[in-house]
Amino acid sequence: MLFDDDAELEDEFRSVAFASDDVRAMERPLLEDGVPLMRMAASATAMTARVMMARAHVSPDAARITLLAGGGDNGGDGLFAAAELASDGVDVTVVAVGRSLHEAGFAALRAAGGEVIVLDADAEIPGVDGPQDAQEAADLFEEAVSAAESSHLVIDAMTGIGLHGELRGIPAQVAAALGEHGQLPDVIATPCGAGRDGFPLVLAVDAPSGVGIDDGTLPGPYIPADVTITFGALKPCDLLPPAAYVCGQQVLVDFGFDTEPFLPAVENVTQRTAAQSIRLPHVNDSKYSRGVVGLVTGSDEYPGAAVLSSRAAVLSNVGMIRYVGPRIAQDMVLARVPEAVMGKGHVQSWVVGSGVPSGPDEGDMDAQRRRIAALLAHYSPDEDGSEELPPVVVDAGALDLLPENCVPQVLITPHAGELARLLSERDEEVSVQDVLAEPLNWATRAWELTGATVLLKGAVTVVVGDDGDGNPHVFVSGSGPAWLATAGAGDVLAGVIGAVLAQNAETLVRLPDQMAVFAAVGAYIHGLAAGMASESFQRGSCPPVVYDGESPLEFFHAMQPRRIEPGSVLDGTLGHPIVAGEVADCIPGVFGTLIGMYDDNDGDDADDGVAPGDGDGDGDVAEVPVFSRGVDSDDAAGGDDEADGDADVVLDVDRDYTDEELDALADALFARYEEEERH
């Protein structure tokens, strides 16, 4: 149900990130009350490590784990988790990267039999000597790296959320040896939870070491994670690119923080937010009341952009579109969108610039550029009545036609290259690579310089707008697959956003600070349509899995990649290539799914997005079991309801399991993996 309070709180928990200082402030009252947050974090970390090993078909008695431990509380989380795993029979080696270790965590680790390698010559760790000279330091470092590289799992607990700036000293050396050194990630896009071939897997504790916690950057050496477990609340690095790309699958542990006194640093658009942002049909509607989008897109040189932007807009839940452009583009638009009206008239939003060539500025200016320049001149705050103008989406070739300063209902939609060019024209020394490395920083800078709402396109799109008090309000959307990187996709995006703005025109008159969220919703819908078109489960970002220590098998299932039933038209997770027109064709299906959330007959409020092959629009599809032999909920030893020789993996959520039954479930699960190893 769309307006279910509990479901809304769950969505908010999984989609809102807070600055690291605020998260520490949230922790403080709980710590003062004696809540054992470290033990809770350690227990969740240990369980997540078990799940990662289980889905990699590694049983506890065969597993090798290396813990990279710093001297702070993050290292303490890791030490207690490592002690718990060592007690399970796992071979655990701890690499101490600082001058100390958390005292109680270290004692627990030693009591469980874990080995320790100390890398700092100045370390004071009871009972363990550090290197005595340079040669021994080099030998111990090589031993530590070798231990990590030969492990099944590396638990990264070097720094947590307390570090600002890049790693230094021994942690930087370890990260450079095991991970990357500031390079932007360039790996094949796979669905969340799909994992990868080869070891070691990496589990980051609270955040991967080396990422910019509050700005999402990768300022120096860092260790990419397969899974990141974070505690209490999401941090900006969990949502912001490029750091979000190296967090892997995310696990969020609920500590019961009181977040009410704190403002979010970043908000991720959810399916619920998108559904609440679209206009439902009214019984007394006319085509005008449902929203009218005006488009000044395409040109003699690029008429296809006019078709793509117009078709996307007309399919995005509005009553009418008006198109203004050259004759060749008009003919093409009418051929694909016969409902379109040619020429100017009253509109609730404008979309300009898609497929319009950039420059020159004066005498030989393209006719479309002249039209756009005349329109945008009214959107300067110095113009009377500018605050009452309909919102306008400014794309591609129109970006250099912006007034020096804009009102917030101007939305610019550059990719990294276009943003770098726009900023350079305003005397900022910035390259495309700079924008890719610091998207939040440069999108915010563009907002400051222009006054416009800024949507920076990418696998995770970043939107920066005014919060109503002159401060930046940041949203992200990563709902689309990597297949969306295709010619014309930006034209479709512009049309979708223009339609979302048009159907919310009345709201924007009263609440102009909602420009950013509606822009982000448009990007979200665009991404869902691409996922539907490509039949792919891969996304730029995925909602975190909420850890549930009381239901280990449910947690295990939640960590598995989503798959399609074998034998269907689609069998897999990655999908297939698409073109921009196919994205536009899927837009009505996305709106249908979002509108379906208003029905009170679903019962599934999970924000999973629109699933390929999803017939009822609830985001669910039949899933291929990740393993074929496991534990039946009716028989802890493993039953076979279908008499096919394979035990079913089903958790009876209405049944209260005893500790002994849970142990039997886990034993049977790992027994299956051991059997596979033998075969």
pLDDT, position 662:
56
Q: Residue 652 pLDDT > 50, yes or no? A: no
Amino acid residing at 596 = G
User: By C-alpha distance, which of 458, 500, 488 is closest to 590?
Assistant: 500
- Confidence band for 192, pLDDT divided at 50, 70 and 90: confident
Q: Whose CA is closest to 207, among 243, 165, 182?
A: 243
- Report the C-alpha gap between 533 and 589 in whole angstroms: 10
Cis peptide bond upstream of 242, omega within 30: yes
What is the pLDDT of the chain when averaged over all its residues?
Answer: 87
Closest C-alpha among 508, 282, 305 to residue 395? 305
d(C-alpha 127, C-alpha 122), whole Å: 14
Provide the pLDDT for residue 601.
52
Q: What Å distances lie between residue 330 and 291, 304, 353, 401, CA to CA?
A: 21, 10, 15, 23
**Amino acid in position 239:** L
Residue range 496-544, pLDDT digits in tens:
999 999 999 999 989 999 999 999 999 999 999 999 999 998 999 989 9
pLDDT of residue 642: 40
In tens, the pLDDT along 409-452 reads: 999 999 999 999 999 999 999 999 999 999 999 999 999 999 99
Cis check for the bond before 200: say yes or no (omega within 30 of 0).
yes
The confidence score (pLDDT) of residue 35 equals 96
Cβ–Cβ under 8 Å, residues 300 and 275 = no
Q: What is the largest CA-CA distance in the chain?
A: 84
Higher pLDDT: 487 or 599? It is: 487
pTM greater than the 0.95 cutoff: no
Q: Which two tokens stand for residue 418?
A: 């276009």
pLDDT tens digits for range 443-476: 999 999 999 999 999 999 999 999 999 999 999 9
| Share above pLDDT 70 across residues of the chain, in percent, rounded to a whole number | 85
Residue 574 reports pLDDT greater than 60: yes
Report pLDDT digits (tens) over 34-60.
999 999 999 999 999 999 998 888 988
Q: List the single range of 66-80, 224-238, 641-655 with lowest mean pLDDT.
A: 641-655
Segment 239-250, tens digit of pLDDT: 999 999 999 999
Rounded distance between C-alpha atoms, residue 575 and residue 582, angstroms: 14
pLDDT number for residue 461:
98
Is the model's pLDDT at 616 over the cut of 80? no
Taking the C-alpha atoms of residue 610 and residue 608, their distance in angstroms, rounded to an integer, is: 7
Beta carbons within 8 Å of 142's beta carbon, 6+ residues apart:
none
Name which residue leads in pLDDT, 350 or 55: 350
Position 366 confidence tier, pLDDT thresholds 50, 70, 90? confident
How confident is the model at residue 182, as a pLDDT? 79
Per residue in 576-604, pLDDT tens?
999 999 999 999 999 999 999 988 654 44
Write out pLDDT tens, residues 116-163: 999 999 999 999 999 999 999 999 999 999 999 999 999 999 998 888
Percent of the chain surpassing pLDDT 90: 74
Higher pLDDT, 247 or 613: 247
Least confident of 239-243, 253-257, 611-615: 611-615
Q: What is the pLDDT of residue 2?
A: 78
What average pLDDT does the segment 478-494 reach?
97
Look at 477 and 187; give whichever has higher pLDDT.
477
Question: Mean pLDDT throughout 274-298?
Answer: 96
Q: Hey, is 405 helix, strand or coil?
A: coil
Average pLDDT over residues 541-558: 89
Q: What is the pLDDT of residue 676?
A: 46
